[in-house]
Structure 1
């Protein structure tokens, strides 16, 4: 998200730096990326996926003084921390010391009450979350999470903005991949992404027909559990766990698929799901507020009640039995994605940021 938004804001006339942690020696401390710059600061974080509590704490303790010194040299006029904990906390401290405004972005990862790798700690950090969102000069929440964030807010500058996507120049061709039906799902292998529920649903589908194959792209701490569920439902021949795939290679997976599945727990919205729509794939998604923006039930795909594998199985069976409907659903997905390009989304951020710079 940060890179895509930075690129679009740069095109609109903003001068943008991204300050982040350095993970691995292969990443340079300073990098020019198109129109914006990235500065990476050493901390104790080593995880490329979900960070541990210790790594978050080191990001705060080691990153704050480095970023503060850097910000003084660069003379920033506005801070935009992504995530309330710990980046937003760093943001409000730097804001007070540098006397510049800070606008915090809130997503599912640090919203109290949502399933995430930090859930164990976030529920105890709710007072910190409340402080960050109310001491920031404005709050941007990922669309679909408004009702969960509002109880913590006492803020007049509060806006919900959807995630964006980049429109690929080539599109998928649903129902042109022959048999079996090629399904795709991308995400970290963690409980809240719902892969176990997908596998249960596919087990039900296989009782009626087996002309489908699901590719799961991603890695995470729940991989062993997911493999166990595969064995329990005896559909290992119909599901492939592909592990980590570099972002630049994901396009081939989208292009060679007939439909996309996102059946996770509640979050703002899955970037991979939005990208699937941009490639012109029909989407089956869990019926959560953030997904309703990008999936029109019965038109671009299906919204299915979460943790209802029977209902999910029925939606998958419909696609198997009505494969001729998939191209039209895919075109509808693409049309929805065209509304939510990063260029369009960045205009909404631009309005918020300029309003904050104008003052109270």
Structure 2
């Protein structure tokens, strides 16, 4: 009996220790969560090149604009708002536009960015041009812990992405990899880890009003044509940009071959997958909920994009402006208007902007009638 009592006491002691340990862990996790939330609210967000500048510039003048362009570098480097507005004015339309393109912006980030823009409630915004892209559900491992990825992984948006992944028609292994690539940025976002950079920037700026961050130092958006978000690759400095340019000029034969392939007729029928349909529908819904009209577009790229075009032919999207046709738009594929195989140079961007304004003006005339 005595041994049995002793065993019971030992079990109770172990249980009590485990309970105390569990309680301490719970208190630690709760404290960590509360501290992270407070830290995230108080500490300024880190400055993210291009993204921060564009959000700040737009916020200051958000009620000025009635047209916004959003997408990747194919928007950022290709649309000149000042030229677009002038071209529309010549056609009797009063337009004030802003280029919200950011290099490497994919659809999942565009969705988050779009929500931020609409949450500002710009009272005169009427149209949003959205670059139509294929959906990349996974993030490259080297980008998981970057501020550029962390900033758009809040609870609401990340769980929307999780839902997309779980509905994705693929193997469990692929789904798990995709979920992991978004879980880590979410944890960093909730923990305010990315805001350490913001804290360092804030401390460095205290007591020195002339001290500016790297992005502001290199911010050309406050100059001439760049005030509304456009910056051509011609104006970028750095060896990597010049190397891209030289590689393009040294491989013009390969470029011409790709353009010729794009000219070949195709009877290929490609249906948009369920993920593309879901994201497109959600994009359309959040824009329309703000009483704004979405206009999708495909820029002069070197792919046919049949699955994206199918969104229009199958009437999932009502308006899609297509420019990826060298036969219809040969000038946009002329080497002298290209910076590299993927992007127009400044001269090409201005010609493209004029064509875009012409197509938009025709669209407005049709809608009016």
Larger Rg: 2
TM-score, normalized by length of structure 1?
0.27
Decide which structure has greater strand share: 1
Where relative contact order (Cα < 8 A, 6+ residues apart) is larger, the structure is 2
Q: TM-score, normalised by structure 2?
A: 0.26
Between structures 1 and 2, the one with greater helix share: 2
